[in-house]
Amino acid sequence: MGANDIFEAIKEVLDKYGLKFDHLIAFASDTCNVMKGIRNGVIAKIRNEQPKIIDVHCICHLVNLCVNSAVKVLPFKVDEVLVDIYYHFHHSVKRITTLKEYADFCDVEFKSILKHCEWLSLTRSIKRTLQMWEPLLSYFTSHPDVEKTGKVKSIYDHLRGSFFKPWMLFLANTLVIFDKFNIYFQTSKAATIHKLHTESERLLKTVLSFFVKSSVIRLNSSNLIDIEYSNPSNQVSDEELFIGDETTAFFLDLADNEGIPSTNFYGHVRSFYVAFTKKLISKFDFKSTLLKTLKLLDPTQCQNISLALIKFTIQFPFILIKMLSNWSLGNLQLMRKLLRSTVRMLSVFG
């Protein structure tokens, strides 16, 4: 489907509900040329009808890009290993039956291996692999091709290696944070654009708290993007680095058995967090006055009237009418301040 088709589809939906392009505030999409093309992309065609439209990168897609950037710094390609395991069993009833037998032998409830393909599937695939860890390890250890160069040996080497499992445990504990963020914006039945900046900032603060000293975060609480998060002096020690309870327990068990966690593990964890943070800050406009102002579309925030909100209501006057129609009498009385201020400021911004 081309840009023209998508644009016409948008126009058709607007007509269906009696809306105009002037009613549009923002347009969210991924970054493909069809959507973002400067001359012939969908956003360019919408701008011809509504020059004030705000071009917002789909936040769920953006966070997925951040995760991909972070995963790339790991010492192995986790997605490729998971896909190899899945396809080894995918079309073979015999292999699945053998794996079930190993699950029974290991006293583990058998669960099908899940395919990792996109977005939210990585965490699910990792958790399922961890659930089936012992049966999988037993299966590939006993496989006749385990000594031959190929997929089977590669999978076995990863499962048998000292640090593949702790990485899987780390990702299982960490990726769930990003999944919850994405699920919130994907499944919410109500409009959430007014929470976009707040939730994105909360996500940034959460990730920073995993590897940056709390004193540094507190000192820059109003300007998180200005934190020098890649500076080692601003980061916590290895012992304070967030790697998840299960990962910590794994390393404690290693210590009990005279195993020693590699310092490279913690270095890669730091690189993981730095890569995610760098990507998020570069892709999301945390400085956007308008995105910050959108939080005031929430009736509970109506007392926080500001000059930015006045500018916003002048830029998109129809939204003020919509806000008023949904607010209680008490909120409407508070809005009198905004109305008076708006009238006074029209000569300045109008």
Give SS3 for 126. Answer: helix
204 Cβ contact partners less than 8 Å away, ≥ 6 residues apart = 224, 225, 277, 280, 281, 286
Please state, in angstroms and rounded to a whole number, the distance separating the CA atoms of residues 217 and 224: 7
Among the listed residues 174, 131, 155, the one whose alpha carbon sits nearest the alpha carbon of residue 78: 155
Q: What pLDDT, on the 0 to 100 scale, is given for residue 184?
A: 87
Least confident window among 118-122, 254-258, 288-292: 254-258
Burial 183-211 (b: 16+ CB within 10 A, else e): eebeeeeeeebbbbbbebbebbeebbebb
Residue 1 confidence (pLDDT) above 80: no
Lowest mean pLDDT among 10-24, 187-201, 277-291, 316-330: 316-330
Q: Average pLDDT in the 249-254 region?
A: 82
Closest residue by Cα to residue 177 from 31, 55, 280: 280
At residue 236, does pLDDT exceed 80?
A: yes
Return the structure tokens found at 78: 């986790």
Task: Please check the confidence at residue 313 and state whether its pLDDT lies above 80.
Answer: no
- Tell me, what's the pLDDT at 264? 86
pLDDT, tens digit (0-9, with 9 covering 90-100), for 128-162: 999 999 999 999 999 999 999 999 999 999 999 87
Please, which pLDDT band fits residue 302 given cuts at 50, 70 and 90? Answer: low
Among residues 58, 45, 56, the alpha carbon closest in space to that of 14 is found at 45
Return the closest-CA partner of residue 90 out of 127, 117, 130. Answer: 117
What would the DSSP string read from start to end of 165-205? HHHHHHHHHHHHHHHHHHHHHHH-SS--GGGHHHHHHHHHH
Predicted confidence (pLDDT) at residue 304 exceeds the cutoff of 60: no
Which residues, 6+ apart, have CB-to-CB distance to 6 below 8 Å? 34, 35, 42
Candidate from 79-83, 99-103, 308-312 with smallest mean pLDDT: 308-312
- Residue 349: the pLDDT is 44
Average pLDDT on 170-198 reads 86
Predicted confidence (pLDDT) per residue in 258-276, tens digit: 555 566 899 999 999 999 9
N-to-C CA span, the chain: 39
pLDDT of residue 346: 46
Q: Report whether pLDDT(307) > 70.
A: no
**pLDDT band with cut points at 50, 70 and 90 for residue 318:** low
Q: What is the mean pLDDT of residues 326-338?
A: 55
Q: Would you report the helix, strand and coil content of the chain in percent, each value rounded to 5?
A: 70, 5, 30
Predicted confidence at residue 162, as pLDDT, reads 75
Q: What is the pLDDT of residues 40-68, one digit of tens each?
A: 899 999 999 998 887 877 888 889 989 99
pLDDT at 161: 82
Percent of the chain clearing pLDDT 90 (strictly above)? 52
* Element holding 54 (H helix, E strand): strand 54-57
Predicted pLDDT of residue 224? 95
The DSSP output letter for 296 is: G
| Residue-averaged pLDDT of the chain | 84
Cβ atoms < 10 Å from Cβ of 53: 17
Residues 269, 60 contacting (CB under 8 angstroms): no
> Does residue 31 or residue 22 have the better pLDDT?
22
Per domain, the residue ranges of the chain are 1-57, 63-71+170-283, 78-162, 294-350
DSSP one-letter code for 116: P
Q: What is the pLDDT of residue 60?
A: 86
- The H-or-E segment that residue 258 falls in is none
